[in-house]
Amino acid sequence: MKMVDLLMMIEEQAEKKLSDMPDENGHFGPYGGMFVAETLMEPLQELKHAYLKYMQDEDFLAELDKDLSDYVGRPSPLYFAERMTRELGGAKVYLKREDLNHTGAHKVNNTIGQMLLAKRMGKTRIIAETGAGQHGVATATVAARLDLECVVYMGAEDIQRQALNVYRMKLLGAKVVSVESGSRTLKDALNEAMRDWVTNIDNTFYIIGTAAGPHPYPAMVRDFQSIIGREAKEQILKHEGRLPDALVACIGGGSNAIGLFYPFVDDQDVSMYGVEAAGHGLETGEHAAPLCAGKPGVLHGNRTYLMEDQHGQIIPTHSVSAGLDYPGVGPEHSWLKDIGRANYVSVNDTEALKSFHYLTRVEGIIPALESSHAIAYVKKLAPTMDKDQIIVVNLSGRGDKDIHTVATIDGIEF
Amino acid sequence: MSRIKSCFEQLKQQHKQALIPFVTAGDPNPEITVDLMHAMVESGADIIELGVPFSDPMADGPVIQKASERALIYGTSLSDVLMMVKTFREKNNDTPVILMGYLNPIEVMGYEVFAKAAQDCGVDGILTVDIPPEEAGTYIPALRNCELDPIFLLSPTTTKERMKIICEYASGFIYYVAVKGVTGTSALDTQEVEQRVSIIREVTDLPIAVGFGIKNAQSAAAVAQVADAVVVGSALVNLVEQNALENNKIIKEISRVLQNMHSALT
């Protein structure tokens, strides 16, 4: 091979490095970007610069590491689910135990990071949106620790579904604001938090909980969450001496999935499966699966796959799991879908509920309803694979918050 | 010459400022909108800003959010709004009409298709709240090819450097958002507006409209001292909500308020 050709090949390869995304303005191919009203442009630029600066700052990274280990309890174990593996009769299944983090889910990895950033930027007031309440709890938790005022926006519908988490946030000193507009769920909570932010921009830091929203949020949330994938990579190499064949994670906005996927995106032999909520079934239209059944559009500051009608209005979503009940998805997933790097599949309410019970009985681990979607897909995938193959699934949260929902569905009253 | 340009030139000769009322198309029902537009012109509106209903109006306060929700009960779509402007043009060929809304309905229709349809229906300018110039690479040429003015917002957080960039892309007029916040929530500070407007004048010769926080004839008159146009939205949409069951009363009330503002401006 001529030197020139070799150099060109190397250059092409370098160009193709998937982990180099997004571009300077937050674009993942045609997705992402900064689609916001003018008042937010300058604050977003400020945030972008602070984030880029502190992600290179040794003191910041040391403080983040210390909090993640001493306060959150990281690294989270990578657990070989032996009985589940035996019963499914195919690939070896490893669970990345994000459910064991302080506050019970992966959400805290990101709130710790953004809160440290808020502190460095001199902000005194924290706001957040929440669906299932996990991100709200994780935000209220870190705000309590740093003695910052905290306001959490939550759809009126979700406040009813997740009463336990609402009380947890209040115990932690946060103000929970019930959002009565639109469909009264997560998307409306996000709208309301944006409205608060634009009004109180001088002293307020908005901690977005998922890898969506305007740039720099999708990249920033991914970077804070990718501790999941970095640990998993190191752990699986220790356990098995090689990389896994497949990664599986549930997708609402997509933060736990991108956190697991990102450190593996350049490892082309590792397949990735993002599991969306099919709700009552994709064919009924009552679901929350924009990647599987939606089309691209612009919402909440970024271009991405959305659930929308033919006129571009956002349509109501449904999932038994409040944390997946969102009509959009992080822009990086939209891009990974289009270029074929990740596969996006869906699991309906019934399958997720069955898997909630399944993991509880087979492994003694009660998963969140969100994570139960990922487990349900592993139940389909593992038997199709060889026994020497490996699946790593992100067990993104624990199911304590969902006990009431599941009991009600099972016809049990306390 | 475009309708917007000739409107501002005429007013300038008369040493007057433009009065720009905002209402959401299809609020509280699709039947009222064209009649309301004509009534607003009769009551002193120089330019009409018509809101395109959207399910997730992130930059709007509760008053205009509810207007969108009311309009969406009837399924008022972007194409419906264009048809309303077309009907309005059957009797009015002079008053400029600006559409104000969010990107997604336009994105779904397609920029070129939308721009052509808007031009055919007699729309003059497009103000899309959630598309800054950084993202407007193919959007701006699509509008310009159809002689539509892309109207952009400047806000209290916009730096002078950004103002220069935005004003290069904008035409028709510049819309200065006078408060940090959403529509219809707080009152503006006239002194601060005056300072900001003089900075904007250093970077552009385009007429400057001021909106957000104009509640009554008094604040309209105060803003008109420093700006070329005054936009009033939530104060009018409030009247729609209060009289939502009677179209005649909505038209009467909005006309009354606009007449007051109009005389305060002259």
- Nearest alpha-carbon partner for B133 in B161, B109, B112: B161
Q: What pLDDT does A8 receive?
A: 67
Is the minimum CB–CB distance between A38 and chain B shorter than 8 Å? yes
| CA angle (A103 as vertex; A112, A130 as ends), nearest 5 | 75
**Interatomic CA distance for residues A185 and B121, integer angstroms:** 37
The pLDDT of residue B247 is above 60: yes
* Mean pLDDT within B91-115: 98
Mean predicted confidence (pLDDT) in A3-31: 78
C-alpha–C-alpha distance, residues A226 and A242, integer Å:
19
If you measure CA to CA, which chain B residue comes closest to A46?
B157
Cβ pair B104:A41 closer than 8 A: no
Average pLDDT over residues A128-153: 95
Partners of residue A306 in chain B, C-beta under 8 Å: 104
Confidence bin at A163 (pLDDT 50/70/90): confident
Average pLDDT on A37-46 reads 95
What ipTM was assigned to the predicted interfaces of this complex?
0.96
Give Cβ neighbours of residue A9 (< 8 Å, ≥ 6 apart). Answer: none
Tell if the CB–CB gap between A313 and B72 is shorter than 8 Å.
yes
Contact B132 A34 (CB under 8 A): yes
* CA distance to partner chain A, nearest, from residue B181 (Å): 4
Q: Which of B56, B129, B156 shows the shortest C-beta gap to A299?
A: B56
Average pLDDT (A217-229) is 98
Q: Taking CB atoms and an 8 Å cutoff, what residues of chain B touch A313?
A: 54-55, 72, 77, 104-105
Query: A310, B108: Cβ pair inside 8 Å?
Result: yes
Q: Tell me what the pLDDT averaged over chain B comes to.
A: 96
Beta strand pairing call for A31-35 and A27-28 = antiparallel
Which of the four pLDDT bands, split at 50, 70 and 90, describes residue A11? low
Catalytic amino acids of B?
49, 60
Structure tokens at A78: 């990578």
Answer yes or no: is pLDDT of A14 > 60: no
Encode pLDDT of B211-235 as tens digits. Answer: 988 889 999 999 999 999 999 999 9
Q: What is the pLDDT of residues A306-362, one digit of tens each?
A: 999 999 999 999 999 989 999 999 999 999 999 999 999 999 999 999 999 999 999
Q: What is the mean pLDDT of residues B53-72?
A: 95
Query: Is the pLDDT confidence value at A3 over 70?
Result: no
Closest CA in chain B for residue A297: B104
Confidence category of residue A13, pLDDT binned at 50, 70, 90: low
pTM > 0.90: yes or no: yes
Which of A177, A311, A317, A326 to substitute to test the interface with B, most B CBs within 10 Å? Answer: A311
Query: In the structure, what pLDDT confidence band is assigned to residue A9 with cuts at 50, 70 and 90?
Result: low
B244 touches chain A (CB under 8 A): no
Distance CA A331, CA A34 (A): 11
* CA atoms within 13 A of residue A140's CA, in its CB half-sphere: 25
Mean pLDDT of chain A: 95
Domain range B3-265, its CATH number among 3.30.1130.10, 1.20.1090.10, 3.20.20.70, 2.60.40.10: 3.20.20.70
Task: Please give the C-alpha separations between residue A390 and each of A245, A286, A362, in angstroms, as whole numbers.
Answer: 5, 33, 19
In chain B, domain spans: 3-265
Side-chain-facing half-sphere of B244: CA atoms under 13 Å: 15
User: pLDDT above 70 covers what percent of chain A?
Assistant: 96
Whether A1 shows a pLDDT value over 60: the answer reads no
Q: Do A41 and B162 touch (CB under 8 A)?
A: yes
**Residues 6+ positions from A315 with CB-CB distance below 8 Å:** A285, A307, A308, A309, A327, B55
Within 8 A of A301 by CB-CB distance, chain B residues are 130
* Gyration radius of chain B over CA positions: 17
Specify the pLDDT at position B7: 98
The token pair that represents A228 in the structure block: 């999941």
Element (H, E) at B185: none
C-alpha closest to that of A252 among A338, A357, A129: A129
Q: Kindly give, in sequence order, each residue whose CB lies less than 8 Å from that of residue B114, ignoring residues fewer than 6 positions away.
A: B78, B106, B142
B151-174 residue pLDDT tens: 999 999 999 999 999 999 999 999
Mean pLDDT of B41-45: 98
